[in-house]
Structures are given as structure tokens and as C-alpha cells.
């Protein structure tokens, strides 16, 4: 009896001292798994194989010692503990192995929510999951590159179409209206040269009033077409450059949108073309869209435009003191998307800062080409 009690106590002492040893074995086993670069299936099979072999050896040792009355209790305890250890080990292994997959799933949800710049973290502990994450990142990069390339083609096609329509309105439609205006004036003069006896006074008066109304209508139409052609593609941007186009934009917004705009230019010389054509077009279109949004939504008549250039970048800022909006209410319309894409295609950034009741500020930073 005394021999049995001493044996049980020695087994309890061994069990108490086994915790740091078990942790050390687990760490060593984890390091070996990382060095071997095993797949998830191989890890699960290997761990379960070692667990079953260990349980079989311990079961063989237990059954080889006759513990008489306590034999059933020890066998039952061993089976329960072996099952729990196997279960916990598999849970730990699967959780550690699937953690990169959970991160990949989180990245997929972010991309699905619209955060196209999110990328999955590539792990080196599992080659298969790391390869999956890298493949997913490469796919996102290719899709983003294709989207930007397609956007560049769309914006360029829009500018070409704007230029073509502006030329057609100015050359063909404008010339036709000018010819009609001249013809109307000739008819008016011919009517005045007719003798009074050939046409009744009442009829003459009606004809002169009609010709005068027709002349005024064609003059207004000709002016509207000229303004429309300038808005589509201002010729001053191609002929005189960015600064002249900004001054025209300020004057046009003052007359058409009833905005009082202050233009501040720093570091820009009075030359025909200060920047490459793509930069000038992007800056002009962003400023034009911003002023249109101010006139539509800001409920104000004052705005400031600041254009700065240094050795590394050119900066454009449009600020208004209107109603603003809360960040949670920001809308992404086609105008804002086009502004961002114009800045992105030149490797620049566009930020919009606004608070309710404190106005809105649009900042554009475009790095200059080396």
C-alpha cells in the first residue's frame, strides 16, 4: 500500500513539472513546422500522428503496470485527458494556421466595401497561404492598373471630344448663325430701301419689328454658343496657357455663376505654357468642377483659388466659406470621381476637407515630372 501511494505521488510530481516541458516541446514543434514549410493538410496529419503515437505509448505503459483497484480510474482519466489534449492541440494548430486566411478575408471585405487600396498581409510561415495572399494582391494591383489606364483613356477621349465639339460650335454653327445675322441685316436694309407706296405702313412696321426680334435672337444664340464652346474647351487654355485660362475661369464664374473669386498665384511665371498639357488640363478641370459645385451646393458667393508651384510640385487650393457638410455625408458623384482620377493619373493627391457650417477646401498636389 505504501509503495502504491509513493508511486501515485511521484506521478503527480511529474505531472506538475510537465507544464514547462510541454510548452517547450510545443515551441520546438512549432519552429520545426515553420522550417519544414508544410502545408495545412500535412501539419494536421503530422500533429495527429504524433498525438496518436504518444497516446498509444502512454496507454501501453499504463496497461503494463497493474494498479489493481485504481486501474479503471487511471485508464478512464488517461482517455479523457488524451482526448482533451488532442482536441485542444488541433484547435490551436488550426487557429494559428487559419489566422492568415482570416486576415485575407478581412482584406476582401475592405476591397468589397470600396477600399481598393487595401492589401492582404503576406506571411512566410505558410507557403500556400502566403502564395494565396500574394496572388490576391497581384490581382488587385493588375485590376487597379487596368482601371487607371482605362480612366486615362476615357478622360483623354472626353477632352478630345470636348475640343472637337467646341471647334464645330465655333466654326460651323457660329459661322452659320453669323451668316444668318448678316442676311437678316441685308433684308432689313432692303426693306428700308423699298418705296413707301409698295408696302403698307402697318405691314412695314410688322416686318421691321420681326426682323429686329430675329436679329436679337440670333445675337443671343450666337453668344450662348460662344460661351458653351469656351466652357467645353476654352481656346485660351491652348493658346495662352494655364494662367490666362484661370483668369478667364474667374471672370466667367463671376458673370455666369455670380461668384466673387479671389485668385492668388505664387511661383508661376507669365509664360505661354508653364506646365505640360496634361497638368494644365487637369488643374483647369478640377478648378472648374470645384467652382460649379460651390455654385450648386455651398450656398455662398465667395471663393478663393490659390495656385502655387515650387521645384517639386504644383499645388491648387479652392476654398469657400459656404455651408459645408459633415464627413459622414460626403457624396462621391461623377464630378468628384473625375477630379480624383485626374489627380491620380498624374501621381498626385486630391483631398477634400469640410465641416458643417465652416466651408469646404479642395487641395490638389501634383508632383512635377523630373
Mean pLDDT to the nearest integer, 217-235: 82
How far CA 63 is from CA of 67, 165, 173, 301, in Å, comes to 9, 95, 105, 94
Sheet holding 260-266, edge to edge: 260-266, 302-309, 313-320, 360-367, 349-354
Indicate whether 139 pLDDT > 80.
yes
C-alpha cell at 151: 480612366
Rounded to 5°, angle at Cα 241 from 262 and 306: 25
Q: Which long-range contacts (CB under 8 A, 24 or more apart) does 149-153 make?
A: 151/341, 151/344, 151/345, 152/345
Distance CA 231, CA 238 (A): 13
pLDDT per residue over 186-203, tens digit each? 888 888 888 877 778 888
Distance (Å, whole) CA 147 – CA 168: 31
Residue with cell 487559419: 98
pLDDT in tens, 284-312: 989 999 998 898 888 888 899 999 988 88
Threshold 0.75, pTM exceeds: no
pLDDT tens per residue, range 107-138: 888 888 777 778 888 877 666 777 888 888 88
Computed from CA positions of residues 138, 144, 148, 153, in that sequence, does the dihedral angle turn out positive or negative? positive
What contacts 119, CB < 8 A, 6 or more positions away?
Answer: 107, 137, 140
Least confident of 21-25, 277-281, 310-314: 21-25
| d(C-alpha 294, C-alpha 290), whole Å | 6
Q: How many whole angstroms separate alpha carbon 215 and alpha carbon 212? A: 5
Q: Which of 75-89, 151-165, 220-234, 297-311 has the lowest mean pLDDT?
A: 75-89
Strands (E), 105-164: none
Judge whether residue 315 has pLDDT over 90: yes
Please name the residues in contact with 339: beta carbons below 8 A apart, sequence gap of 6 or more: 285, 286, 289, 290, 350, 362, 364
**Element holding 232 (H helix, E strand):** helix 201-232
Task: Please provide residue 233's backbone torsions phi and psi, each rounded to the nearest 5 degrees.
Answer: -155, 95
Amino acid at each position: 500500500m505504501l509503495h502504491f501511494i509513493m508511486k501515485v505521488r511521484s506521478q503527480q510530481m511529474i505531472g506538475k513539472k510537465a507544464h514547462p516541458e510541454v510548452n517547450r516541446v510545443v515551441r520546438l514543434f512549432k519552429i520545426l513546422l515553420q522550417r519544414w514549410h508544410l502545408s495545412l493538410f500535412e501539419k494536421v496529419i503530422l500533429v495527429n500522428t504524433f498525438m496518436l503515437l504518444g497516446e498509444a505509448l502512454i496507454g501501453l505503459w499504463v496497461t503494463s503496470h497493474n494498479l489493481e483497484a485504481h486501474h479503471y480510474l487511471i485508464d478512464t482519466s488517461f482517455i479523457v485527458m488524451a482526448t482533451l489534449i488532442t482536441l485542444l492541440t488541433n484547435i490551436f494548430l488550426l487557429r494559428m494556421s487559419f489566422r492568415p486566411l482570416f486576415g485575407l478575408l478581412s482584406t476582401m471585405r475592405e476591397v468589397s466595401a470600396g477600399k481598393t487600396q487595401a492589401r492582404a498581409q503576406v506571411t512566410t510561415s505558410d507557403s500556400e497561404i502566403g502564395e494565396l495572399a500574394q496572388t490576391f494582391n497581384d490581382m488587385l494591383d493588375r485590376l487597379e492598373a487596368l482601371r487607371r489606364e482605362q480612366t486615362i483613356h476615357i478622360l483623354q477621349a472626353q477632352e478630345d471630344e470636348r475640343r472637337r465639339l467646341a471647334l464645330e460650335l465655333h466654326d460651323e454653327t457660329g459661322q452659320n448663325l453669323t451668316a444668318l445675322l448678316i442676311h437678316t441685316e441685308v433684308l432689313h436694309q432692303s426693306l428700308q430701301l423699298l418705296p413707301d407706296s409698295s408696302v403698307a405702313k402697318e405691314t412695314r412696321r410688322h416686318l421691321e419689328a420681326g426682323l429686329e426680334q430675329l436679329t436679337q435672337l440670333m445675337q443671343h444664340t450666337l453668344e450662348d454658343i460662344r460661351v458653351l464652346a469656351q466652357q467645353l474647351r476654352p481656346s485660351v487654355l491652348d493658346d495662352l496657357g494655364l494662367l490666362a485660362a484661370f483668369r478667364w475661369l474667374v471672370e466667367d464664374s463671376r458673370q455666369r455663376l455670380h461668384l466673387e473669386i479671389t485668385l492668388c498665384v505664387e511661383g508661376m511665371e507669365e509664360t505661354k505654357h508653364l506646365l505640360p498639357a496634361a497638368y494644365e488640363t487637369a488643374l483647369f478641370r478640377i478648378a472648374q468642377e470645384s467652382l460649379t459645385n460651390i455654385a450648386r451646393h455651398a450656398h455662398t458667393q465667395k471663393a478663393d483659388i490659390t495656385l502655387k508651384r515650387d521645384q517639386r510640385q504644383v499645388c491648387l487650393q479652392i476654398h469657400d466659406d459656404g455651408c459645408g457638410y459633415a464627413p459622414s455625408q460626403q457624396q462621391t458623384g461623377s464630378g468628384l470621381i473625375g477630379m480624383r482620377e485626374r489627380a491620380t493619373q498624374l501621381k498626385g493627391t486630391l483631398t477634400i476637407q469640410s465641416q458643417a457650417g465652416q466651408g469646404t477646401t479642395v487641395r490638389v498636389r501634383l508632383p512635377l515630372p523630373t
